[in-house]
Each structure stands twice: as C-alpha cells, then as structure tokens.
Structure 1
C-alpha cells in the first residue's frame, strides 16, 4: 500500500461515523423515489446482484447512499458491517478497492449477517467491473452498491457484468421533489397515477385543479431557472444557482472528467459542441451544420455526443419508425435539465422574457419527467415527423401502444389549428389518445379529434400540473411498491 494504513483508516472513520455510534450529519428527512427501490434491493434483494446507481454529478447520489445507510442502522444492521468509501478521495484511490476492504476488516471485525458495501464514484478505479464481478460471484454475504457519474465504463464492462449488477438511474429533481426540498407549500391537488384517468374528468374538476395549481406557476418558472440539482435548488438566489450549475457541474464534467476518464484532449472542441447543443436544446440535431460551424469532423462530433450522453448531460431521441430511413435520420437532443442551457449561456432570469427559450425549457423539463417516470418499464421514446414536416415532440411506445406528447407552451389558447402534427400522427397511427402540454391553466380540458378513425381524444394539460403529477406519481408509486413488497 502506497499510503500508511493509519492515514487510510483515519479517512474511513471520518466517512463512517456510525462505527463509533455517531449519526450521519446533515441528512435531509425527505426521500427521493429511487430511495425506496434501493432500500428494497438492500433489505430483500430479488437476485444476488450489486446495485449500480448512475447519474450526473451533484445529482444527489452520495446523499442517497447515506440515507440508505441510516435506514440500515436504524433497522438493526450491525454498524461494523457497513462500509462507505468514496474513491474521489486521493488516499482511498491510492489504497485501492482491495486495500480499503482489507483495512476495514482489520480494524472493524465482522458481525453476523450480510456485509454492506457502499462505494462512491467507483469509475475512478481501474478494472472496477472485473473486481465487482468477482465480488458478486464469490462473496455471497456482501450486498454492494456502487455509484458512477459516467456510463461508458459500464458499457465497456457489459459482457462481464451481465447478471452481476442492477442499474438504478438518478435524474435531477422532479418539480414535485423540488417543492419538497425547498419546503414550499403544496396545494390540495388530488393524486393522479396516470394521465389517462384525467380523460374522464368533468369540466368542474378541471377548473378546480387549475385554480388550485395557480400558486405553483411562479415556483415552476423558478424551477426552470434553478434546475433540479439539489444544491442549486437550495441556494439563496437564481444567479448563484446558475453559477454553481455552470462551474461545479458542467465545467467539472467537461474539463475534468472527460480528460481524466476518457482521455479527451481537445476540451475546447468538446465545450463548443456542448454550447451548440445548449443553443439547440430540444431541437433536431444537424450534424452537417454542427461540423460546419465548429469545424469538427463528423466522427469526432459523434464521439463527443456519445460521451455527453454517457455522462448524463444529454438525451438523444431517435425518430419513430423502422428501417434504413431511420438510420439516416436526425436525432433530437434534450439536455438533462432545463436549467443547463440558461446557466451555460448566461441568460439568468432574462430567459423568462424569451418565449422561445421558455418553451424549449418546458419541453426539456417535461421530457425529463416523463422519461424518469417510465424508463424502468423499458418504454421506448422517440419523436415523429412526416414528409410535410408535421411533428410530434415525444412518442412513447408502451408495450406496442403509442402515446404521443406535444408541448405548446404559449400564452395563446391551444386549439386544433396548432396541433396539425398531433392530428396527423393520431390519424395515421390510429392512436386513441394523446397529450398536449400547455401553459395556460384555462386550457386544462379534453379535446376530441374530428373524423378520427380511432375516436382520438386529446388531453390538454398545463405543464405545471403535468410535471407535478409525474413527479408525485413516481414517488408515491415507488413508496407503495416498497410497502407492498
């Protein structure tokens, strides 16, 4: 071992105060939706696998681990059987995975029962996939959770990792979680498990929910500016939140992680590519235009996009369809959080005065919500466009049933004249229902599509309510599942 055992153990004791009977300080009392799934895998794992918690920097992975540890200690698990280590720390990185575990067991003898290993930022350790595979195969008494801010390492080790770990994705805060972490008052809105149930509401129910949601509008617009990173949500001002997002998250990923983990040398090119995506958030990606403007070759640009997606900064949506045409078509790109673009482009609160920028931010926020809510169900997401350039923003494929979503965030009333793409898609695909995400609370209603062969009904739902209910249903659904199991 390069460093002394005493120095390493001093670090480990600092990170593991429960060994001395001390609590973990400064943990929030609220729980995110993914907490209940992680808790289930730790208490009664359905299979002998490790858990990989993936997500962007500063999204709350470490807090989630510490909350899980707190729950184990309160549940009676022997304190010396729980180890937390972060390999972002230089001494632990030097000690290595096996070195840390060896010291743990030399100074903290094992008690009866399973051992729980929580290994943070494991992507900084070379060969971690093989190490984790061996742990799962040969150390049956250990339940292991690892975190990582980058997924290319997972993909590289996919062959050896098949059946060895279960992946949980942690996105930025939903709007519902944002209200919780800021301890903001929430209106007495009814619980909505699925948008489909809203299609049977009466006009009186729509009007009542719209009025109850009115106080949330200002908070929703500030959420678009602050973003869903917990630290950014809690700082005093929007300007400081955007500064933290720009410097502590984006800059560290682009200028440190990309170099340290993936050997990116042309950091300026990568940064320019990301700036281009911020300017075109929610739009179709034109690789020719990107290459022409940034003087980046197509293979290089493709590699940058893969890295940005793998570090959880962007999502790419393919066009809906099949065959060779799809392989040649353009992807649609969403940033991982609505506040990234205004933060990186230094727009500040002025973004709210730009209707186009606000509409893009809402579309990005809504996609994040619907993707986070349903990704675990293996639902495919795409966009749709026909030869007349009529488009549907998001199409979800739910076990063969297509569900379209269109974002129309403007102060104008949204009627059939603004929904030509949605009407064309629903008619062509014989889709019975679709959803239109609007701005105005007075738009909350059901709209019948004339002459539809499937009798299509469109639910117009204000974005503030759509994001609120998606976040709420994700959290309540996870909690109910945990209670049932």
Structure 2
C-alpha cells in the first residue's frame, strides 16, 4: 500500500468538506456530484430521528444497506443537524469510494487522515467523524474501536455489506456500536419525494388517482432515492448502472469470484424471485456446483441484493432444511434486469409487500402445509402476529386457493384474522370462523 502525503490528504478532505461558512445547507453540494444522492437532501424523518436518538448514547453509529439507498445523504443530514450547535470544523467527512483512496486500503490511511485533520483544521476541539463506505479499508474495526475508547471522536460509519452487522464486527467493536439498516424509499417516502402528502384516509381517498399512478412508477422503478426524481427515460439506465456496480465492485471484486457465473445466478434469482428454490435446485438449473452457488448466494445477500425466507416450522432443524424464497431488495432491479413489468406484476406485488414487512421490523416466513400455502407468516419477537396472502387480482379462479391458504395459516397459529393484499379490492369476509380483510396494496403501504 502506498500512503498519500499530508498535502494530498488535505486536498481530498478539502474536496469533501467545506469548512468555510455555509449560508444555506440545502444549496450546498459536495464537489463530487456523483456522490450527491438527491441534490436537495430531502428529509427521511424515520432514520433521522433514530440517528438523533442514538447520538445521545455516545456509541458508534453504524449505517448499513445496499449501495445508493441513501446512507451518505443521512450522514450529510446529520452533519446539517449538528452544524446548528457545533462548529463546522468539528465535522470531518471521509468517503472511501474516492478513487484517490483506493490504493490506501488499510488502517494506516485512517491514522494519516485523522492526524492531518487535527494538525490543520481542528487541533483540540471535539470531533464528529463520518466514515463513508468504510468497509473498503481493511482493519478499520480496531482503529475505530481504539479512537472510540480513547474518546477522541464521536463516530459515524456506513457500509454496503451486511457483514458489518455480523458477530465478527460486533466482537471487534465490543458492543460499542448501534446499527441502523437503511432501505430504499418506502412508498410513503416516495410520495413525499414527489410532493404528495397522505396523512389520513381523507387524503388517501381524495388523491387516489394520483397515488395509484405514483404506485405504478414505484413498483416499476423501485425506491432508490435518486432514481425517484429522475426523468422516466433515464431510470432504466441508472438502475442498470447500480446493478453492475454492485455485482462488480461490492461482490465480484470483494470476494474474487467469477463475474459471469455471478451475473447468471443473479439473473436467475431475479427471474425467479418469490418462488421456492433450494441451493441444490439452483445449482442443477445453472449447472454450477453446490458450493459455488451457496457461496455466491451468500455474497449476494451480504451485499443486500436479496433477502430469503424459509418455510415456518417449530423445529429449527426442519426450517433450515426447507426451500427458500428469495426477494429482491428493490423491485427496480427485477424490472430492469429480468422480465417485463406487465407480465409478472403479481410477483412484484409480493416483493413490495415483503420489503415493507421487512422495513417494519418483522421476522417473515412462508407456510406450505397440506397442499395449501400462505405467502407470509409474520412474527414479532417470539410470537406469530399475522398472516397474509398477496395477489394482483382476487377473482373466482384464485379465491379458493388464497382463502384456503390463509385459513390454514390462521388456524395453525391461533389467529382470528388474516389479510389478502391485492390491487384495489377492499372488503371484509369471514370463512370457518376466520375474518379476512381484503385491502388495496396502497392502503397497506400507507397505513
């Protein structure tokens, strides 16, 4: 590794930090335009409130999530909040996606950056340190832990790998951190980005046409913040760019694996999302060995490309042996890479509902039993709290199947009510002592 000189470090820090007066934060853009997630730094109160709560703990704050989900912007919004009470020279932001730092990939660069900053900008004041995409620096954990233990900085870090939540990282930081997973926009956030408020059922009913139009955009192009405000003709190309960068940089490059095989596997999973699969069935379909498929799937999950769920069973051993269902982190990838929107809209609905349940903090399973299946078994802590089916159109052809699967799930877990989420149908039904609420997907997402 070739270390930079202090002059080179100062040039990089000056590019990413404006220690001059900020007259209007919303008009201030970092010089590296590519890293400005959405220009005006629109608020995401759910995350900002949680960061503020964690700030008071004094612990290391860790933001993880898929690339371009808004982690960097949340750091900048936190800097904005701090700048109201803290001297701007106390704020130090470093982005390890900067090409000038690529060959400086161990903890020595962290020491050099911090020393240079102390010598030239903030010799003895408090420090709020923001390390963006820090997983690019090997050994960062011990360096950060030491800085924390010596009480030399309040530390915020981001990373695009779920490994930053693993037991290894928790051990390295000795429980000194609090973590937040950052997702692409919820549909409610998407509406906000589009300037539409929906805080009540009155709003929902009076703006239903506009809400439905924006939902069609949302399910087709996904919820990445920058893409939400792009012109329609640019969204596909931007999604493909995100997709390729994640595969090449966050997975193939990091794990030194075969890019073509990874690409084929990812295409297969995106084309078969929401369907039951096993590592064995995938390896047979692609003609790859079992170990390769298993390691590649794990790498895709660590980079937040996919989540997986298992068939619910009271026996953990049986759960682990069951097939998985895979869900894309963002439906934009499904449409951009694998298939046409109109031909698979039912699967997209299921994927959107899964992502919303995941964001709400639930543990999710499916249930296949006695030739009936329920899409989602919803668990909170140690208790099953809900069951739901998802279909685009509930009609005479699928009504029996959807209802039977839901009743089977409700009876298994002692639930007196289940849900069917569909495009627009809304009604209450009752079968075999189980109440069933049918609701429009936009209603589910917003309330």
How do residues 46-85 of structure 1 correspond to structure 2 at under 5 angstroms? 48-74=58-84, 76-85=85-94
| Aligned equivalent of 1:117 | 129
User: After superposition, what is the alpha-carbon deviation per residue over 1:215-255, rounded to whole angstroms, capped at 9, x for unaligned?
Assistant: 31121111111110112111111x421221112x1111112
In 2, the alpha carbon distance for the partners of 1:246 and 1:411 equals 33
Q: Is the Cα–Cα contact under 8 Å of residues 165 and 179 in structure 2 kept in the other structure?
A: no
Instruction: Summarize the Cα distance change of 1:20–1:90 in structure 2 as closer, same or farther, 3 Å threshold.
Output: farther
| Aligned equivalent of 2:374 | 392
In 2, the alpha carbon distance for the partners of 1:216 and 1:305 equals 35
| Aligned equivalent of 1:128 | 140
How do residues 60-459 of structure 1 correspond to structure 2 at under 5 angstroms? 60-74=70-84, 76-93=85-102, 94=104, 96-110=109-123, 112=125, 114-139=126-151, 141-155=152-166, 156-183=168-195, 185-186=196-197, 189-190=200-201, 212-237=207-232, 239-247=233-241, 249-264=242-257, 266-323=258-315, 324-345=317-338, 347=339, 350-352=340-342, 354=343, 357-373=344-360, 375=361, 379-388=362-371, 390-399=372-381, 400-410=383-393, 412=395, 415=399, 418-440=402-424, 443-450=425-432, 452=433, 456-459=434-437
| Aligned equivalent of 2:35 | none
In 2, the alpha carbon distance for the partners of 1:316 and 1:87 equals 29
Compute the displacement of 1:343 (Å).
0.4
Gaps of 5+ in 1: 191-204, 470-485
Q: Is the Cα–Cα contact under 8 Å of residues 3 and 109 in structure 2 kept in the other structure?
A: no
In 2, the alpha carbon distance for the partners of 1:153 and 1:418 equals 39
Q: Aligned-residue CA RMSD in angstroms?
A: 2.2
Compute the displacement of 1:415 (Å).
4.7
Q: Is the Cα–Cα contact under 8 Å of residues 283 and 332 in structure 1 kept in the other structure?
A: yes
TM-score, with length taken from structure 1: 0.82
- Structure 1 stretches (4+) deviating beyond 6 angstroms? none
Q: Which moved more, 1:77-86 or 1:413-422?
A: 413-422
Instruction: Summarize the Cα distance change of 1:14–1:404 in structure 2 as closer, same or farther, 3 Å threshold.
Output: same
Compute the displacement of 1:16 (Å).
1.1
Q: Of the two structures, which has the highest relative contact order with CA contacts closer than 8 Å and spacing of 6 or more?
A: 1
In 1, the alpha carbon distance for the partners of 2:408 and 2:62 equals 41
Instruction: Summarize the Cα distance change of 1:458–1:214 in structure 2 as closer, same or farther, 3 Å threshold.
Output: farther
In 2, the alpha carbon distance for the partners of 1:32 and 1:370 equals 19
User: After superposition, what is the alpha-carbon deviation per residue over 1:6-59, rounded to whole angstroms, capped at 9, x for unaligned?
Assistant: 2211221121114554643243243342121112222x22xx421110011111
Compute the displacement of 1:66 (Å).
0.6
Instruction: Summarize the Cα distance change of 1:422–1:72 in structure 2 as closer, same or farther, 3 Å threshold.
Output: same
User: After superposition, what is the alpha-carbon deviation per residue over 1:420-474, rounded to whole angstroms, capped at 9, x for unaligned?
Assistant: 100111123221222211112xx22222232x3xxx32221101111123xxxxx
Gaps of 5+ in 2: 30-38
In 2, the alpha carbon distance for the partners of 1:103 and 1:19 equals 18
Q: Is the Cα–Cα contact under 8 Å of residues 311 and 319 in structure 2 kept in the other structure?
A: yes
| Aligned equivalent of 2:34 | none
Secondary structure of 1:157's counterpart equals: helix
In 1, the alpha carbon distance for the partners of 2:174 and 2:191 equals 38
In 2, the alpha carbon distance for the partners of 1:458 and 1:209 equals 22
Aligned length: 426
TM-score, with length taken from structure 2: 0.89
Instruction: Summarize the Cα distance change of 1:395–1:80 in structure 2 as closer, same or farther, 3 Å threshold.
Output: same
Q: Is the Cα–Cα contact under 8 Å of residues 62 and 120 in structure 1 kept in the other structure?
A: yes
